[in-house]
Structure 1
Amino acid sequence: MTLLPDGSEKGLRGHAEERGIRTRIGMAPPAGEVDRNAPYKRIATEEAWTFPDLVKAQLDYLESGEGPDDASLGMAGMFASMPKLQGMLQDIGEGRIAHMDEYGIDRQLLLLTSPGVQVVRESEGTALARQANDLAAESCNRWPDRFSALAAFDPRDVKGSVQELERANTTLGLNGAVLNSHFQGRYLDEPAYEPILEALEALDAALYIHPTAPYNGQHYKDRGLFGALGGFPHDVWLHTMGLIFSGAFDKYPKLRLVIGHMGECLPLHLYRFDWMQSNADGIPGFRGGQPAVTLKYPVSHYFRNNIWITTSGVGWEPAIKFCMDVMGPERVLYAMDYPYQQSSDELAVYDNIGISAEHKKMLMQTNAENVFRLPKSV
């Protein structure tokens, strides 16, 4: 099943037409049935969820007219109008597990979906993050073999974020943190938010930056590109490169960052990033007049030492192989992107991808276990 923007499902004929298109443009065609006896566990690492109080808070702020001109807040309203999507997002129990069984997914890593807690009224964000983390931990404790989760936080409240990250990753036993990219036009590379990065490194908690619609993204909306076709990857691109050029990974060398959707195409540009590094490296005045930052290494170094990527939404063998080649097979993790994108055909592609058995198990299972400190499977 593929969920369409109106919340409906694509029929069998639509899938057949899509498969024909995929074959014509050179993408990997469907590869048959999912292997029910695969010699690895399938851990899906970018699987979305939400809960009613958060949806209500987002809608209340949007409809009040008091919020900023933020396309990601508007996106919350769009998602809230899709009852089928909301039903799937808000089920972090037996219904979700049934879908996991259908597709052969052994474990989901739950990420509070975009736009998350960072678009509600600032006074409400941290309380909603706490509620989200309590709900996620409850599901993880009830189904410990099926769910793990990343902690939500609202970076607009720096002190509250540090406290909640500590609580969620120690007391609740969650497995890292998720941020839905910008927060009303701000990014973690700005000096005010450094305590959050410091806390993440101290907790050994990987940070997953998930996409959201760009701030003031009318030029994207005017072209139908504010989502996955443009705005989503571009905003994560800005956030990731901003963190690199801020010197965050030099100051916090054990800080771990994960980005999805085949690294939002960033691995394809590593050669050019290194070549053009002097455009931003060592130049004062960025981020509101900050002193110059000179990186210790080429940009590509950070992609091979501090950054991991997931395959969410890109079940395409050439791209997967390329990223494993340029970043290392230990830095690429499988993700489905449930419930926004789901397909047994896509899963079968992973089962049949032309890589070694060792690297396939790393892709589907052990890389996720290592990066997110998940329970080890046999």
Structure 2
Amino acid sequence: MPLIAIEEHWIMPDVTSALRAEPQPDESLAFHEVGDNRERLEDLGAGRIAAMDAQGIDMSVLALAPPGVQPLPPGKALALSRAANDMAAAVVARHPARFRALSTLPMSSPKDVAGELERAAGMGHAGTMVHGRSGDLFLDDPAYDDFFSAAAELGQPVFIHPQLPSTAVRDASYRGFDPMTDLALATFGWGWHLDTATAALRLVLRGTFDRHPDLQVVLGHWGEMLLFWLDRADGLSRIAGLERSVSDYIRSNFYITSSGMLNPALLQHALSVTTVDRLIFSTDYPFQRPTRKEIDSFLSHFSSDAERERFSSANAASLYGIAL
């Protein structure tokens, strides 16, 4: 049974250098330097393939690690998006049996986003990965509607990945401890996930999926908290004048990945909210590195081989156009 992982990160040194040169560098870059993360993020060849083999992963869908190019000014973001997409396409061309890639987009330059998405799709990128905000511009802003229209038309799934919350939000909710605890609380401990769930919910409330019913969005970390609060979120549908409930949009327009959080209880809750056809395996490499034994143990919690195959490979293959 093939195993496809769809949220496997890499970094491009030129992007890292540009991010560090910003007047206020994104503090989450610190996670790239933990242990051997940086070495693994930059490795797009034999070392990464060896790590995949050790985990039993047949194919990785590569995505530029957060924060991508979104904190960069428009000109730099466009140039580095193009460079990253060219580089990722070359990696896939060298290892077509092992890799696919998600495009990087210049979200700080809304007028250029749809064009770069189309260019990247033409090179074979299977979808794209973005974050919920560029500066003060939320992902649901009307400035991005052409992007979502293009993504729906091109069949390019949009993965919304966590990013560092805004300075205002951090000041209001995530300060008051030592610097590393502040950062952890604002990122993997809480803030990343709440921020991403809010971005997804705002897309629903903006009517994005009513205008673009074929649009497909992917959320990691078992839905970034959103799956656990749908009983309350559904109450927003009537107030916002939506055509359907929030839960219905989640079941028809969202895919959910595991992001290396191989907890059977999270799987069972996800199955109670949506269907197995909407669940996809990922490890969030190299930030999470489940062993082959841990992966096999987790896969044993599916009720049938058919369900296990959908989660392991069939859903990803269908969503991203990967031939098995």
Structure 2: how far apart are the matches of 1:155 and 1:354? 38
Alpha carbon RMSD of aligned pairs, Å? 1.6
Q: TM-score, normalised by structure 2?
A: 0.93
- Bigger RCO of structures 1 and 2 (CA < 8 A, at least 6 apart): 1
Q: Is the 8 A contact 2:316 2:322 kept in 1?
A: yes
Q: 1:325 aligns with which of 266, 269, 272?
A: 272
> Does 1:46 find its partner at 2:7?
yes
For the residue of structure 2 that corresponds to 1:150, the secondary structure is strand
1:191 is aligned with what amino acid?
A: P
For the residue of structure 2 that corresponds to 1:237, the secondary structure is helix
Q: Corresponding residue for 2:44? A: 92
Q: Corresponding residue for 1:121? A: 73
Q: 2:26 aligns with which of 73, 78, 91?
A: 73
Structure 1: how far apart are the matches of 2:319 and 2:202? 22
Q: Corresponding residue for 1:346? A: 294
Q: Runs of 5+ in structure 2 lacking a partner? A: none
Q: Is the 8 A contact 2:7 2:282 kept in 1?
A: yes
Q: Corresponding residue for 1:150? A: 102
Q: Corresponding residue for 1:371? A: 319
Q: How does 1:228-377 map to 2 (within 5 A)?
A: 228-278=188-238, 280-281=239-240, 294-344=241-291, 345-375=293-323, 377=324
Q: Corresponding residue for 2:131? A: 180
- CA drift at 1:84: 2.0
Q: 1:132 aligns with which of 84, 95, 107?
A: 84
Summarize deviations over 1:28-71 as a string: whole Å, max 9, x none.
xxxxxxxxxxxx1111111111111000001111xxx3x4xxxx
Identity over aligned pairs, percent: 32
Q: TM-score, normalised by structure 1?
A: 0.80
Structure 2: how far apart are the matches of 1:365 and 1:221? 41
Which structure has the larger Rg over C-alpha atoms?
Answer: 1
2:96 is aligned with what amino acid?
A: P
Distance 1:221-1:343 versus aligned 2 partners, 3 A rule: farther
- CA drift at 1:82: 4.2
Q: 2:174 aligns with which of 208, 216, 220?
A: 220
Summarize deviations over 1:154-190 as a string: whole Å, max 9, x none.
12212221111001001x1110110033212322211
Q: Corresponding residue for 1:285? A: none
Structure 2: how far apart are the matches of 1:359 and 1:102? 24
Q: Corresponding residue for 2:149? A: 198
Structure 2: how far apart are the matches of 1:85 and 1:185? 30
- CA drift at 1:193: 1.4
Distance 1:194-1:276 versus aligned 2 partners, 3 A rule: closer
- CA drift at 1:83: 6.7
Aligned length: 314
Structure 2: how far apart are the matches of 1:330 and 1:59? 40
Q: Is the 8 A contact 2:71 2:108 kept in 1?
A: no
Deviates more, 1:181-190 or 1:138-147: 181-190
Q: Is the 8 A contact 1:188 1:194 kept in 2?
A: no
For the residue of structure 1 that corresponds to 2:9, the secondary structure is strand
Distance 1:102-1:184 versus aligned 2 partners, 3 A rule: same
Structure 2: how far apart are the matches of 1:47 and 1:80? 13
- CA drift at 1:276: 4.5
Structure 2: how far apart are the matches of 1:179 and 1:92? 21
Structure 2: how far apart are the matches of 1:183 and 1:306? 23
Structure 2: how far apart are the matches of 1:83 and 1:124? 29
Q: Runs of 5+ in structure 1 lacking a partner? A: 1-39, 282-293
Q: Which runs of 4+ in 1 moved over 6 A?
A: none
1:197 is aligned with what amino acid?
A: F
Distance 1:99-1:267 versus aligned 2 partners, 3 A rule: same
Q: Corresponding residue for 1:17? A: none
For the residue of structure 2 that corresponds to 1:123, the secondary structure is helix
